[in-house]
Amino acid sequence: MPFKNNLLPRGFKAKAERISEHLRKEIGVHVCNPLDAFVLAKHLNVIVFNIDEIGLPVNELRHLKGLANNTVEWHALTFPINQTHVIVHNNINSPARIQSDLMHELAHIICQHHENQITTHDFPWHMRSFNPQLEAEAEYLGSCLQISKAGLFAKLKYGATEDEIADYFLASKQMVKYRIGQTAARKILKLNY
Share of the chain above pLDDT 90, in %: 55
**CA–CA distance from 119 to each of 6, 108, 114, 123, 127 (Å)?**
26, 15, 10, 10, 6
Burial of 53 (0-12, 13-18, 19+ CB in 10 A): exposed
The answer to whether residue 169 sits within a structural domain is no
The answer to whether residue 118 sits within a structural domain is yes
The answer to whether residue 106 sits within a structural domain is yes
The answer to whether residue 158 sits within a structural domain is no
How confident is the model over 30-59, as pLDDT tens digits?
999 999 999 999 999 999 988 777 765 556
Cα–Cα distance measured from residue 173 to residue 96, given in angstroms and rounded to the nearest whole number: 9
If one counts the domains in the chain, the total is: 1
The answer to whether residue 88 sits within a structural domain is yes
Say what the pTM is. 0.84
The answer to whether residue 74 sits within a structural domain is yes
Those residues whose C-beta lies under 8 Å from the C-beta of residue 163, and which sit 6 or more positions away, are 173
Q: Containing domain of residue 136, as a range?
A: 9-146
The answer to whether residue 156 sits within a structural domain is no
Q: What is the pLDDT along the chain (193 residues), one digit of tens a residue?
A: 555 567 898 999 999 999 999 999 999 999 999 999 999 999 999 999 887 777 655 566 555 555 556 565 667 888 888 888 989 888 888 999 999 999 999 999 999 886 545 433 344 444 456 688 889 999 999 999 999 999 999 999 999 999 999 999 999 999 999 999 999 988 888 876 5
The answer to whether residue 34 sits within a structural domain is yes
